[in-house]
Structures are given as C-alpha cells and as structure tokens.
Structure 1
Amino acid sequence: MSQAANTGIQERPAPTAAASPGSLSSRSLPRWAPAAFAGAAIVLGVGIGAAAGWQSRIQWGLLSAVLFIVISYVTTSVVENQRQAKDRLATSVVWVCFLLAVVPLASLIWTTVSRGAKVLDVYFLTHSMAGVLGTAPGGGVYHALIGTLEQVGLATLISAPIGLLTAVYLVEYGKGALAKAVTFFVDVMTGIPSIVAGLFILSIMLIAQLQPSGLMGSLALTILMIPVVVRSTEEMLKLVPNELREASLALGVPKWRTILKVVLPTAIGGITTGVMLAIARIAGETAPIILLVFGSQLINSNPFQGAQSSLPFYIWEQYKIGSEASYDRAWAAALVLIAFVMILNLVARGIARWKAPKTGR
C-alpha cells in the first residue's frame, strides 16, 4: 500500500497546464503595454485630428485621451479578462485625469518662465519704475516687492493670532450656540470673493475719511486670511490625542496651561504650515489692492501712509499699458510672485517635516 493509503489522505489530481479563462493565472499583458497603448492613442488622435481638419492641439489631446482609455479597456478584455479590464479602465481614467490637471499647470509655468526670464535680473529686482515710461524698456519691481512683503506681513501679524485664538476656542472651549455661530461665519468668510473684502474696507475708508495705504490693503487681506488660519489650526488641534490633555489635567495643571504647554506645541508644525499656506493664498490677491492701495511708481516703505504698490497690482498695471516692454515686465513680475509662493510652500513643508512627531527608537 502507498503512503497516502496508510495515512488516510486522498491525493488530489495534479492541476492542468491550461488555466481557465476566468482564473487569475490567465494570460496577462506585458508591463510596457500601457506605454504602447498611449503611443497608439496619440498616433491615432493626431491622425484623426489632422484628417478632420482640427487646428487645436487641445482637441487632438482630448481625442487621444479617449482613445487611450478605449484601447486599454478593449485590449485588456480580449487578452486577459473582464476583471483586469475594469482595473485597467480605472487606472487609465486616473492617469488621464492626472495629465489633464498637470498639462495646464506645466504649460503655465513654462510660459511664465520663458517669457519672464527675459528681463528678470538683479537690476529688475533692485529698481523701481520711478522716471521710467510705461512703454519704454527698463525699470524694475523693487517697489512692488517691498509693498507685497509689508502688506502680507501686516495681514499675517493681524490674522494669525486672531485665527489661532478662534480655533483654540472652537476646539477646547466652544459649545452651544456661540460656537455654532462662529463656525458658521468662518465657513461663510471662507467663500467670500476678495472684491467683497475690498469693498468692505473701502466703505470704512470713506466713512472715516481715510487715505489709501498699504495698511488698508492689509486689512482686506486679513479678512481673507483669517478663515484659512482658523480652519487649518482647528484641524491640527483636533489631531492632538485627548490622552495628552487628560494626562496634563490629571497632574493638576490648569486647562489654559495645558493648552499652552501641551496642545499647541504638539500641533505647532501643522499650525505653522496652515499659516504659510494662508500667506500664499493672499499673496496673489489683486482686487483689494487696486481698491485700497492705488499703486505707486515710487518706493514707499511706509505702509501706514501714502499709496503703495504690490506684485499683483504691478502685473495688472504693466499688462494694461500694452507695450512689448510692459508685457515683459509683467511676465517677470509674475515669475517673481510664483517664486515667492513656491518658497512659502517649501518653507511650510520644511517646518511640517521638522516638527512632525518622531517615529522609531
């Protein structure tokens, strides 16, 4: 008798070499198949678009995207199975959506860099437009850069403490109708257009007979910045474990001191990141600055008196002139503004990584 008969275990027949069509071991496409599908879709899209007389490359691209999805699904259905085809369909749709989002952004960055680099140099960053005709070459962005730094800095000094304290109230103390009302108005402020904030400050200026200045623009930017700071800080405070609060309170530490010494230091990385992102959000606002700051060709380092310029206002002003030199200055200023926002985002990421909770030993 065999060993299987002695142990009472029945032997199973060996699996056949050919797998069933619906099994997981059926035929599969090679790894380079998506790239081949994309190449075939592009060739077909360009060919069909050219044959149909389409002049727009956007139409060619959209047709190629649709063909890529169709080719991927049909080929996978024929070669593999319906399960893999559905998976390939979802993956293709995700890739197409990703490209649809990245291509316009890449095009914008390429256009800004290629056109702004013509006049962007040390002279452009260290000189103003004083004594320079708008239609003539020359001049710089120094006065606008100073205005942006001062206006955004004042808005941050005003809005960051208010937003932080509001978020602490909502998370640590807020209960009842008052907390609900504050949350409602923060949500409403998050969606208001920038021109509304500018008109609100303008009405106060007209009532109090105040003159345009960088401070007036900072107040409008503050209205736009506060809800962003409140929302980001609120979410960061909610991520702090309640066990830390309870441990501090169990030791007899007052609640205000627990918030100051335990809760805020734990969430400081996320709070700082939220403030940096809020600064990046208001740095490119133009409408309130046009209404409240009025712009200036001269260097005005006093934000509390007199008209001032800013990078968004400078871009709008130079583009409105309509000459080749003014267009170059506008694109260069746009490149400076993009670099400013990018630096803020990199700083926010660095602070978030620096203050992130340490893992491991």
Structure 2
Amino acid sequence: MNPSKFFHIKRKVTSVIMMSLSLVATLIALVPLVFIFYYTISKGISYLNIDFFIAMPKPVGETGGGMANAIAGTLLLIGIGGVIGIPVGVMTGTYLSEFGNNKFGSVVRFLTDVLSGVPSIVVGVVAYTLVVIPMKHFSALAGGIALGILMIPTITRTTEEMIKLVPHSLREAGLALGIPKWKTTILIVLKTAWKGIATGILLGLSRAAGETAPLLFTALGNRFWSTKVGQPIASLSVYIYDYAKAPFEDWNQQAWTAALVLMLMISILSLTFRIVTRSKYKTK
C-alpha cells in the first residue's frame, strides 16, 4: 500500500474514533443533567400553580399554601449578594488580568483560588461570626453578604480569563491614541469582554441561588412575609431543605415544586443575560 494513502486512512480512522469517543463522553455528561431535569419536573409539576407563587406557607397539618415569601426572599438575597459580589469580582478580575503581573497579583490569584474551594458552610460560619453575632440576630443582610462572598471567586476568575482573550492590538490602538491605560481598560477591554464577563456573573448568581448551608447560619428563614434586610428572611433553598426532610407528604411535594421553581428562576436569569448581551452586541 502507498505510504501516503496508508497515513491518510490512519488519520481518518483516528479522527472517527476520537469523534465517537467525544460524542459518547458528551452523552454521558448529559445523562445526569437530563435525569435531574426530568425527575424534578415530573415530581414538582403537580403542585405548580398560581397559589404557589402568591400564597404563604400553611401551618403544620394543613395542606396547600405556597412559597411567596421564599421566592421574594431568594430574589432579595441574590440581589444583595450581587451588589457585593459582582463589583468586587469584576474589578478584581480586571486587576489580575491587566495589572496583576506582580507578587501582589499572584497572592490575590492564589487567595481567590483558595476561596473558590472553601466549603459554603465555612463561609456561613464566618458570616455568622462577623455579622450575625454583632447584630445579635439573623438577617437577610448577613445572608446576602455570605452569598456575595461565594460569588466573588467565580466572577473573578471568569473575568480574568475573558479579559485575557481580548486581542492586545485593541489595547495598543487605544494607547496609541493617547488614551490612559485605565480608560482603555474600561472603554475598550471591558466592553469587548462583556459577554464572557456576563457569563461569569451568571454562574456566580446561579451558585448563590442554590446555596443552603450559609443561609442556615445567616438568614435562617421566616414563615412570614418579610423583605427587610435587617430581619430573618425565607429562601427557596432553605425551604427545600426543611420540607424535604419533613415527615409530611404534602411538604415533601412542595419541596420538589420549590426545586422546580428555583431551576426555572435560574433558567430565566440565564435566558435574560443571553438576550441582553446578544442585543448589546447587535446594537454595536
């Protein structure tokens, strides 16, 4: 056989094998995700109705009710966490990418990696010590601070990596026009990397939305309607935890519905981010 033809066939066979293995690996990775979605939807859809979104939880022994307070509380906690975590994460990631080629940058990068591996319950205990104990009560503020801390490493690392993908020619063009480096970073680099940064923000918010352990030490929970940042507040993740282990079938069913609603909230948030970033790029 002609050597060139042999190597051509060998490359084609190798390519087919690797593509097949990649496809199998992708399917294996998708199986748990599809199973989680299917099981959550099948178990939670039966209780999903308008009352679940507008009604308050019923006392023990009564069926029905909803989780309006937990839905509002989850949104408030994510909002507080976002106000803390998004600016800090984006600014830290920008510094590490544009100005962090020094020892201080290496230390910050190392600490960020360490923080990303810290269990969320440890962050909850720290927030309890630094916020709850001095305030002498649980609060939405303490929960939001804990969630904000958990967002920071994800947003920081994503921002840093996305900014590194911006071509150096854009920076050089801005500097050649006499634009200061800090203004070049804000007006050119960050705008170019915005779509990737938004993805990191979404990942941070999604992680915060599903956290339970830190909220047990900070926001605690509330059976009543409350949107005050200085008071304990309900959240879907804590309700899922409480209702799933309760000895009442109705509460167990509501836990599945709460899980479904939480997944829908994250999906809507993701879709909104994609629409906003896509329209932002189209207008440019």
Whole-Å separation in 2 of the counterparts to 1:266 and 1:95 = 32
**Letter of the 2:223 counterpart:** Q
Equivalent residue of 1:293, what SS? coil
Residue 36 of structure 2 is matched in structure 1 by: 108
Residue 117 of structure 1 is matched in structure 2 by: 45
Q: Is the 8 A contact 2:221 2:234 kept in 1?
A: yes
Report the alpha carbon displacement of residue 239 of structure 1 after superposing the two structures with TM: 1.7
Deviates more, 1:245-254 or 1:93-102: 93-102
Whole-Å separation in 1 of the counterparts to 2:22 and 2:174 = 46
RMSD after superposition:
2.5
Matched, 1:186 2:148: no
Q: Is the 8 A contact 1:272 1:351 kept in 2?
A: no
Whole-Å separation in 2 of the counterparts to 1:235 and 1:134 = 49
Normalized per residue, the structure richer in helix is: 2
Deviations 1:163-185 (A, max 9, x none): 12112221222232111111110
Q: Is the 8 A contact 2:132 2:139 kept in 1?
A: no
Report the alpha carbon displacement of residue 205 of structure 1 after superposing the two structures with TM: 3.5
Q: Which of the pair has more CA radius of gyration?
A: 1
Matched, 1:342 2:270: no
Whole-Å separation in 2 of the counterparts to 1:265 and 1:273 = 14
Matched, 1:198 2:124: yes
Whole-Å separation in 1 of the counterparts to 2:275 and 2:117 = 28
Residue 98 of structure 1 is matched in structure 2 by: 26
Report the alpha carbon displacement of residue 110 of structure 1 after superposing the two structures with TM: 1.4
Whole-Å separation in 2 of the counterparts to 1:174 and 1:206 = 34
Q: Is the 8 A contact 1:213 1:307 kept in 2?
A: yes
Residue 266 of structure 1 is matched in structure 2 by: 192
Report the alpha carbon displacement of residue 251 of structure 1 after superposing the two structures with TM: 1.9
Whole-Å separation in 1 of the counterparts to 2:99 and 2:11 = 52
Q: How does 1:164-243 map to 2 (within 5 A)?
A: 164-205=90-131, 207-243=133-169
Residue 69 of structure 2 is matched in structure 1 by: 143
Matched, 1:314 2:239: yes
Q: How does 1:45-84 map to 2 (within 5 A)?
A: none
Q: 1:119 to 1:241 in 2, by over 3 A?
A: same
Equivalent residue of 1:306, what SS? coil
Q: TM-score, normalized by length of structure 1?
A: 0.71
**Letter of the 1:94 counterpart:** S
Matched, 1:157 2:72: no
Q: Is the 8 A contact 1:134 1:321 kept in 2?
A: no
Residue 247 of structure 1 is matched in structure 2 by: 173
- How high is the sequence identity, in percent, across the aligned residues? 38
Residue 71 of structure 1 is matched in structure 2 by: none
Equivalent residue of 2:278, what SS? helix
Report the alpha carbon displacement of residue 92 of structure 1 after superposing the two structures with TM: 4.5
Report the alpha carbon displacement of residue 289 of structure 1 after superposing the two structures with TM: 0.8
Report the alpha carbon displacement of residue 82 of structure 1 after superposing the two structures with TM: 8.3
Q: 1:101 to 1:256 in 2, by over 3 A?
A: closer
Report the alpha carbon displacement of residue 102 of structure 1 after superposing the two structures with TM: 2.2
Q: How many residues align?
A: 281
Report the alpha carbon displacement of residue 352 of structure 1 after superposing the two structures with TM: 4.0
Q: How does 1:273-284 map to 2 (within 5 A)?
A: 273-284=199-210
Residue 13 of structure 1 is matched in structure 2 by: none
The structure, 1 or 2, with the larger RCO (C-alpha pairs under 8 Å, 6+ apart) is 2
**Letter of the 1:188 counterpart:** V
Q: Is the 8 A contact 1:116 1:335 kept in 2?
A: yes
Deviations 1:283-331 (A, max 9, x none): 100001111111111110112x221110100111111222111111111
Q: Is the 8 A contact 1:273 1:352 kept in 2?
A: no
Q: Is the 8 A contact 1:273 1:351 kept in 2?
A: no
Deviates more, 1:113-122 or 1:83-92: 83-92
Deviations 1:70-104 (A, max 9, x none): xxxxxxxxxxx988776665454434333322222
Deviates more, 1:294-303 or 1:171-180: 171-180
Equivalent residue of 1:289, what SS? helix
Give ranges in structure 2 of 5+ residues lacking alignment: none
**Letter of the 1:191 counterpart:** G
Report the alpha carbon displacement of residue 136 of structure 1 after superposing the two structures with TM: 2.8
**Letter of the 1:189 counterpart:** L
Give ranges in structure 1 of 5+ residues lacking alignment: 1-18, 25-80
Deviates more, 1:211-220 or 1:159-168: 159-168
**Letter of the 2:28 counterpart:** L
